[in-house]
Amino acid sequence: MKSDSSGLGRAGLAIILAALAMLGPFSIDTYLPAFPSIQAGLQATPLEVQQTLTAYMLSFAIMTLWHGALSDAFGRRNVILVALAVFAVASFGCASAHSIHYLWGFRILQGISAGAGMVVGRAIIRDLYAGAQAERLLSLVTMIFSIAPAIAPILGGWIVVFMSWRAIFLLLFGYTIALWLACFKLLPESLPKEKRQEFSAEFLWESYAKVFKSPLFHLKAGTIAFNFGGLFLYISAAPVFITQHLHLGADQFGWQFIPSVGGIFLGALTANRLAGKISVWKQVSIGFCFLIGASLFNVAFHLFSVPVLFWSVMPLFFYTFGMSLVAPGATLLVLDLFPSIRGIVASCQSASVTLIGAVIAGVVAPLLDHSVLALAAGQLACALTGATLWYTGRAYWRSMTAQKQNAWETVG
């Protein structure tokens, strides 16, 4: 373990990094209950309002490719502070938007800046900690971060009922200003100047090429992306799933999000306790048992029953539990593929997650949200794809290790 000089300690650092990562779910989940209000207030169609989410996700995915590279060159802390300032401006712009097209524009600006905390935060963890300690800190961040998806839709529903959809973005503006001040005073710089990389077109091209040409990167990062995709399918479809299939109100989104977040929290807690006690490979396998088992149950139930409140949301708890068991170990394995350009690797990994999320939000969810059975089948497809990528990656890694060992023996 490397130590930082911030005086924050592991728990304090986890809180700061989790608060930064919360910008993502706050930007998405808080305003989902406001879709009908935005549609009425801006005289927009349901599809136009849905595309505010797609615009955010696509810009988020594209920009996450750069957050890590920028932090490798200019420092972790500097990138986070600039991104928070941009996000604050974008949030205020969303609150002031007088047409759906202006809202698209400011949502894109939010997407450009929102991912910095998540991407750079992972690099900071790996800068300061290694092995089981890094896995424990990453799972601790996940546990704290999981509060956001639980309270965001509930808070958004209350704001819509008692105030206005614009107040949601004003709340994001205030949260971001407070977070900027906290990071300015407390966040350590984990990458000293002598360890920073050159920010040049040639170096970036070589670095990105190195990452994207790696089969192991695509297999391991794809595992995380598709696992998250199974959850994000339900997040994207939440306005329809909650109001049309479960016949609940805009202030009752907690019925979907609380079980999901409960699974994330308890899965992260379990991963924290298991770190260093069992191998990453075994922990991930246990996680996939929950992911695939929950998805299979979800499909089987809705084959023979109409959607009902408890049984239609309960599988989400076990799905996210498994997802949180898989994520910490798989994420650290991705970051360790290229230690000298860890920020760029974190960017590429986050971009893969967000790109899958954008496709699901813009294409898959609108195609499947007419039926809860279709949503369940889509989630099962995501879990099976994630598992296939993971075990293919494990077989590939074993093959590469055996080849290297044979080469050393031949030389010897």
Q: How far apart are CA 25 and CA 21, in angstroms?
A: 8
Segment 368-379 mean pLDDT: 91
Q: How confident is the model at residue 407 (pLDDT cuts 50, 70, 90)?
A: low
Is the pLDDT score of 265 beyond 70? yes
pLDDT in tens, 128-178: 766 677 777 777 777 776 777 677 777 878 888 788 888 888 999 999 999
Is the pLDDT score of 362 beyond 80? no
Q: How far apart are CA 2 and CA 190, in angstroms?
A: 10
Q: How far apart are CA 263 and CA 83, in angstroms?
A: 30
- Residue-level pLDDT at 88: 94
pLDDT in tens, 104-132: 999 999 988 887 877 787 777 777 766 67
pTM of the complete model:
0.69
Residue with tokens 């990562």: 21
Classify the C-alpha dihedral 68-72-74-80 as positive or negative: positive
Residue 59 CB partners (closer than 8 Å, separation 6+): 107, 108, 109, 110, 111, 112
Give the pair of three-digit tokens for residue 399: 């093959």
pLDDT in tens, 289-310: 999 999 999 999 999 988 888 8
* CB of 78 closer than 8 Å to CB of 193: no
* CB of 338 closer than 8 Å to CB of 344: yes
- In 3D, which of 374, 147, 361 has the Cα closest to residue 235? 361
Q: Helix and strand tally (H, E) in the chain?
A: 19, 0
* CB of 243 closer than 8 Å to CB of 249: yes
Out of 18-27, 95-104, 316-325, pick the least confident: 18-27
Is the pLDDT score of 3 beyond 50? no
Q: How confident is the model at residue 358 (pLDDT cuts 50, 70, 90)?
A: confident
Q: How far apart are CA 173 and CA 106, in angstroms?
A: 13
Q: How far apart are CA 363 and CA 263, in angstroms?
A: 26
* CB of 56 closer than 8 Å to CB of 28: yes
Q: How far apart are CA 266 and CA 40, in angstroms?
A: 39
* CB of 263 closer than 8 Å to CB of 298: no
- Residue-level pLDDT at 387: 92
* CB of 36 closer than 8 Å to CB of 330: no
Q: Which residues, in sequence order, are bridge partners of residue 275? A: 278
Please spell the DSSP secondary structure of 203-249, one letter per residue.
HHHHHHHHHHT-HHHHHHHHHHHHHHHHHHHHHHTHHHIIIIIS---
- Residue-level pLDDT at 406: 59
Q: How far apart are CA 207 and CA 133, in angstroms?
A: 27
Q: Give residue 139's identity as a one-letter amino acid code.
A: S
Give the pair of three-digit tokens for residue 225: 């992306």
What domains are defined for the chain? 10-191+199-401 (1.20.1250.20)
Q: How confident is the model at residue 8 (pLDDT cuts 50, 70, 90)?
A: low
Is the pLDDT score of 11 beyond 80? no
Residue with tokens 């889509």: 378
Q: How far apart are CA 91 and CA 180, in angstroms?
A: 14
Q: How far apart are CA 15 and CA 172, in angstroms?
A: 18
Out of 49-58, 132-141, 274-283, 295-304, pick the least confident: 132-141
